[in-house]
């Protein structure tokens, strides 16, 4: 039995899904703090002489690691723009 099949079976069991909710509570992601963090990281990478593609790729990877649904990065040697859309589409 594969891992995915076991996971789906566990999700169907109310006892296990309640236990997982108590053990692993969902955390609300603060998108403003995430944007501040990745922007600061990109700025520091650029300041230390990193290649532009590396700055963009590093920011994209960090956004994906935090589960940001849609993140856009644009970098040139003197400018860094990062935008991100939250699941609630709020500001």
Task: Per residue of the chain (91 residues), give pLDDT as tens.
Answer: 334 444 444 445 555 555 555 555 566 778 888 899 999 999 999 999 999 999 999 999 999 888 887 789 999 999 999 998 776 666 5
Q: Distance between CA atoms of 24 and 10, rounded to whole angstroms? A: 15
Q: Distance between CA atoms of 71 and 53, rounded to whole angstroms? A: 15
pLDDT at 23: 52
This prediction's pTM: 0.65
pLDDT at 39: 94
């Amino acid at each position: 039995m594969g891992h995915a099949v076991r996971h789906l079976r566990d999700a169907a069991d109310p006892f296990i899904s309640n236990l997982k909710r108590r053990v692993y509570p969902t955390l609300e992601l603060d998108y403003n703090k995430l944007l501040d963090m990745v922007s600061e990281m990109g700025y520091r990478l650029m300041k230390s002489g990193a290649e532009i593609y590396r700055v963009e790729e590093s920011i994209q990877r960090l956004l994906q690691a935090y589960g940001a649904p849609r993140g856009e990065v644009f970098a040139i040697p003197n400018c860094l723009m990062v935008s991100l859309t939250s699941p609630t589409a709020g500001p």
